[in-house]
Amino acid sequence: MKRYATWGVLFALLTPFMLAAAPALSGAVEQQALNLTAIYMFVAFVAGTLGITYWAAKRTRTASDFYTAGGGITGFQNGLAIAGDYMSAASFLGISGLVFSSGYDGLIYSIGFLVGWPIIMFLIAEQIRNLGKFTFADVSSYRFGQTQIRTMAAISSLVVVSFYLIAQMVGAGKLIQLLFGLDYWIAVVLVGILMMIYVIFGGMTATTWVQIIKAVLLLCGATFMAGSALYYFGFSPEEMFRQAVEAHPKAAAIMSPGSLVKDPINAISLGLALMFGTAGLPHILMRFFTVPDAKEARKSVFYATGFIGYFYILTFIIGFAAIVLLAQHPEFFKPAALAADGSVLKDQLVTGINGGTNMVAIRLAEAVGGNLFLGFISAVAFATILAVVSGLTLAGASAISHDLYANVIARGRSNETTEIRVSKYATFGLGLVAIGLGIVFEKQNVAFMVGLAFAIAASANFPVLIASIFWSKMTTRGALIGGFAGLISAVVLTVLSKAVWGDVFGNVGADGKPVGLIFLDNPAIISIPVSFVCIWFFSRFDYSERAKIDRAAYDAQRVRCETGIGAEGSSGH
Amino acid sequence: MHQDLVDAVKAHPRYQELICSRKCFAWNLTVLMLAMYYGFIMVIAFAPKLLGTPLSEGAVTTVGIPVGVVIIIAAFILTGIYVYKANGKFDDLTRTIREDLQ
């Protein structure tokens, strides 16, 4: 009964937040009129997910329940949840916006995000399931010195999670401001509080189900949008492309690779970061521990790849259809973008849209489905952010409680109750940090942060993980130095790149445009090899006593990794 | 895991078969996927015009559109092929090893 009362109080606290936003409407420039349909639908989503959290809280007793939903998620459910983690608001709104403004370039991005999945499947999915328990550090530290490798893995996890989280929080604040007409800070606080509730009370069970529900809603919504758009073109892609080329200021250029990829080196570097970054994201890797065995782990990647691929094809259709359909709706554009007769000026199509190109999918929802569907898609976009930040926070909290606290500070001698308590405090702490940084970074350019998170995941987590699974001669020293070398080189090179050195620090070149000290936009092409070379070099020439233990332990690790023998205990079932 | 269990598994004839066939299969698929993706990236980097060629005379749809969609579908199919083989052959081998050792 006490829990019911807590929910009631929280709900009562949250409602006025939403209503209090109304008077603030007049001031802000970009803020929309308070969208009541969207708010009702969102409240329904929140009520539903809080109900699930209550149900999940009753089932969350052990550490295994908290971190991995007791290992009781099926492959299909986990596939949906993984797809949900991947279909963030950034990929839904960002990629459809990218297709709207540059056409084909959007597809290049989507493909880069998708092709990491087969690689995960072939090389690490079932290996991770067989070797690990709660976090990916369980795998990368399996036969190595626990203190060093777990500390390193926890630090890189927390750095990845923090950058990803800040980018999501800032995006959330701005998006919700646009969609719901709420103030920026209220949106950030609201996201932070709801996320803390899901994770602290419901653990992985609630986080997974929130993600699954949102994935289903988003897939249904996007299918309806792409379907109605195609219906308009008589289900002929050729007709859609033809009208899009006519309506777009870049004309036929939108049908071929454009300016997104400047030169071969940057193209390959971006490709590396997207592909291998996926295989090093802590919140994604953690999902492999929620299924009971290697078989379900494989199935989850298969379903996830299918859902993500399908979703990217939908966003591509949505972006192209929006070029044609939004041009017929002058009310979506700024007054300056309109001709004397009230129609949209062709050269203003991309730059003149209200709220920027990130709003393209939302506007198309309104164009094809009216106010009700606009409300639905807005609520889904909000739900998407909530679900993604919950997964990220849980992964960050696990790195603190399971890796740093239980295995480094308490050296494996803590009990489960304490460990769960630490992870709940950690969630609370991360939630406060996310809210704080979300507000601090409101006016900052955070575009580089997701790229940086992927680059660090690809350069610090992925090389250590893959080498520890496949290379028998790797040692603790090699893993430690290799991991930190990848982490540091990725961060330093990003700071020197145009996105930070120029856009954030304001260094400009002779022509007055922001410049970087190096020409690379994404550090992966340098930082991934740096990490692998360090792992090889410092393992190869490691003659310490510890190195002998590390190498001798490989056989046992390999047997468990390949056959799953000895892994049964890991899920607690 | 006890060392004698590790040695018993390693000595099992099916174990060598399992790790060899899985390793070959997984790395072949990996190389195939990498070749497809980096082939695509190389074309974008060195010959972007190639992807901008219209599918047929007078068409607006370019070669790049089906190529992109095919890579997405291929990624899905390759994971499907792996699951099919792993859930069949590899799991059978693993089960044999486990049953023999119990």
Contact B6 A237 (CB under 8 A): no
Q: Which residues of A touch B1 (CB under 8 A)?
A: 556, 559-560, 565-566
Least confident of A5-14, A87-96, A549-558, B5-14: A5-14
Examine the pLDDT at A539 and tell me if it is beyond 50. Answer: yes
| CA atoms of A382 and A385, how far apart (whole Å) | 5
How far apart CA A29 and CA A261 sit, in angstroms, is 33
Phi and psi dihedrals of A278, rounded to 5? -55, -40
Helices (H), A142-248: 146-180, 184-232, 237-247
From the CA of A341, how many Å to the nearest CA of chain B?
Answer: 29
Nearest to A302 among B10, B34, B83 (CB): B83
Interval A372-428: pLDDT, tens = 898 899 889 888 889 999 999 999 999 999 999 988 888 878 888 899 999 999 999
A positions 105-164 inside 8 Å of B (CB): 107-108, 110-112, 114-115, 117-119, 121-123, 126
Q: Which residues 392-411 of A have a C-beta within 8 angstroms of B?
A: none
Q: What is the CA radius of gyration of chain B?
A: 21
For B33, which of A108, A110, A119 is closest by C-beta distance? Answer: A119
For residue A114, which residues of chain B lie inside 8 Å, CB to CB?
Answer: 72, 75
Averaged over A68-81, what is the pLDDT? 93
Model confidence band, residue A296 (pLDDT cutoffs 50, 70, 90): very high
CB pairs under 8 A between A and B: 159
Q: Which residues does residue A338 pair with via DSSP β-bridges, in sequence order?
A: A344
- C-alpha torsion sign, points A566, A568, A569, A570: positive
Please spell the DSSP secondary structure of A487-507, one letter per residue.
Answer: HHHHHHHHHHSIIIIITTT--
The confidence score (pLDDT) of residue A31 equals 55
Taking only the tens place, the pLDDT of each residue in B26-84 is 999 999 999 999 899 888 888 888 998 999 888 899 999 999 999 999 999 999 999 99
Share of chain A above pLDDT 70, in %: 92
Q: What is the pLDDT of residue A22?
A: 33
Q: Note the pLDDT of residue A18.
A: 37
Q: What is the mean pLDDT of residues A310-335?
A: 93
pLDDT at A11: 42
Please list every residue in chain B whose beta carbon sits closer than 8 Å to the beta carbon of residue A566: 1, 5
Pick the most confident of A131-140, A181-190, A315-324.
A315-324
Residue A573 pLDDT exceeds 70: no
Using an 8 Å CB-CB cutoff, list chain B residues near A258. 48
Closest B-chain CA to A305:
B76
Residue A37: the pLDDT is: 81
Q: Pick from A306, A144, A221: which is nearest to B77 by CA?
A: A306
DSSP for A130-148 reads HH-SSSHHHHHTTTS-HHH
Q: Which residue of B has its CA nearest to A123?
A: B26
Nearest residue, CB atoms, B41 vs list A267, A298, A560: A267
Q: Return the residue of A nearest to B95 by Cα.
A: A563
Minimal Cα–Cα distance from B60 to chain A, Å? Answer: 6
Put simply, the answer to whether B62 touches A121 (Cβ < 8 Å) is no
For the stretch A485-527, pLDDT in tens is: 999 999 999 999 888 888 888 888 888 888 888 888 889 999 9
Is A565 in Cβ contact with B75 (below 8 Å)? no
> Structure pTM?
0.89
- On whether the CB atoms of residues A536 and A528 are closer than 8 A, the answer is no
The residues near A230 (Cβ < 8 Å, ≥ 6 apart) are A237, A240, A317, A321
The pLDDT score that the predictor gives to residue A7 is 45
> Is A562's CB within 8 Å of B18's CB?
yes
Determine contact: A564 vs chain B, CB below 8 A: yes
Share the mean pLDDT of chain A: 87
Residue A15's pLDDT band (boundaries 50, 70, 90)? very low
Cβ–Cβ below 8 Å for A563 and B15: yes
Mean pLDDT of A565-571: 62
